[in-house]
Structure 1
């Protein structure tokens, strides 16, 4: 027979864990009524190692309790299959988080390299999955959730593109489309594909820290026209704007946007 301290030491578990197992009726050591001391025999130790075995696979206590009552080999296999599917889903979720983190790192580099500068760049294909009136049109966010590749159904503004149509007289249309990137050779395309092989590309800063809350659309438009004239480009009357990154300075947001402006 062993004391709780001895069992905790050679099995590498805490006393609290052993008491928790006892509370959940996963192990039932004999207890001295007079002094409350517990005594564990070799069968108790076997029970504890069995519970630890399943806990190391992150099997829930409730499932282990069911297993302790009765579980055939097929039942155990079914339990493990269920856990395997859960782990595979979690791996896919972690992969998605890793991809998002890598994208943010790339966006930081874009800001450093292109802020306030113009270059020529391809706008790669995007599938249009829907449209909302404005990013503040919260009642339309259900549509956004249904049509984006998002982290556990969170609404992400990075799936939105602001699209502005204009001519020499000014703005003709201003809307937001819900998009997703089209990977090479992808087959499950349902929406319209939009892409432009040649665009003026730049990164601009918006947000109250830099603008004081003023609308800077006219200033940006003037800057685009000036850059197009200087480089001999003909604007096609379209601008695609994507939110890259938001941070804060002095409690005010700094918003960085990338712009694709199709040209000839």
Structure 2
């Protein structure tokens, strides 16, 4: 016979875990009525190691309780198949989360490399999933949830692209589109696809921390025109703006935006 301390030590589990197993009816050590001490025999130890085995493959306590009541090999196989499917779905979901995280890391690198500078870059194909008047048109978000490029099926700002049309007289149109990247997508393409092989590309900072809440559209437009003129680029009258990252400084948001400005 072994004490709870001895069992905890050589099985590598805590006393609290052993007591928890007992509370759930998974192990039933003898208990001294006078001093309350528990003693475990070799059958109890076998039960504990069996519980630990099923816990290691992430079986819930409820499922282990079912096993204790009796399961055929076929019944166990059924539980294993069920658990396998859950795990496969979790792995697929985690892979998507990891991909999102890696993309955000890449966005941080873009900010470091391109903030305040211009270069020539391709705007990769984007499928238009929907259009809203403005990102503050919250009543329109409900109809966009299924189309948002989000693994949680929620409308997030990184699913939106601000599109500005302009000519020499100024801004002609300002709207927001819900888009999804076409490259490496498993989804069939149903909507219009946007792509521009040659764009002026830059990253700018917006948000109250850097702008004091002022609109900087005119300043950005002037900068684009200046760069295009200096380099002899002919603008196509379009600007695509994408949110890369939002952080905070002194309680105020710092918003980093990437801009694609198509040129001939």
Maintained 8 Å contact 2:148/2:178: yes
Separation in 2, partners of 1:30, 1:67: 22
- Quickly say closer, same or farther: Cα 1:111–1:71, change in 2 above 3 A: same
The answer for the alignment partner of 2:114 in structure 1 is 114
The answer for the alignment partner of 2:40 in structure 1 is 40
Maintained 8 Å contact 2:148/2:154: no
Separation in 1, partners of 2:114, 2:37: 70
Return 189-198 or 31-40, whichever deviates more.
Answer: 31-40
Structure 2 unaligned runs (5+)?
none
Structure 1 unaligned runs (5+)?
none
The answer for the alignment partner of 2:31 in structure 1 is 31
Q: Note the C-alpha offset of 1:250.
A: 2.2
Separation in 1, partners of 2:12, 2:184: 51
- 1:137-156 paired onto structure 2 within 5 Å: 137-156=137-156
- 1:43-192 paired onto structure 2 within 5 Å: 43-183=43-183, 188-192=188-192
Return 237-246 or 135-144, whichever deviates more.
Answer: 135-144
TM-score relative to the length of structure 1: 0.95
Separation in 2, partners of 1:75, 1:191: 47
Separation in 1, partners of 2:80, 2:155: 33
What is the count of residue pairs matched by the alignment? 264
Separation in 1, partners of 2:100, 2:21: 39
Separation in 2, partners of 1:96, 1:186: 12
SS in 2 for 1:152: coil
Separation in 2, partners of 1:115, 1:228: 17
SS in 2 for 1:151: coil
- Quickly say closer, same or farther: Cα 1:65–1:164, change in 2 above 3 A: same
SS in 2 for 1:36: coil
Runs of 4+ in structure 1 displaced over 3 angstroms? 184-187
The answer for the alignment partner of 2:3 in structure 1 is 3
TM-score relative to the length of structure 2: 0.95
- RMSD of Structure 2 on Structure 1 (CA): 1.6
Separation in 2, partners of 1:231, 1:148: 37
Separation in 1, partners of 2:120, 2:67: 63
SS in 2 for 1:215: coil
Separation in 2, partners of 1:198, 1:263: 6
Q: Note the C-alpha offset of 1:205.
A: 0.9
- Quickly say closer, same or farther: Cα 1:197–1:213, change in 2 above 3 A: same
Separation in 2, partners of 1:94, 1:181: 20
Separation in 2, partners of 1:153, 1:29: 49
The answer for the alignment partner of 2:199 in structure 1 is 199
The answer for the alignment partner of 1:227 in structure 2 is 227
Separation in 1, partners of 2:166, 2:134: 18
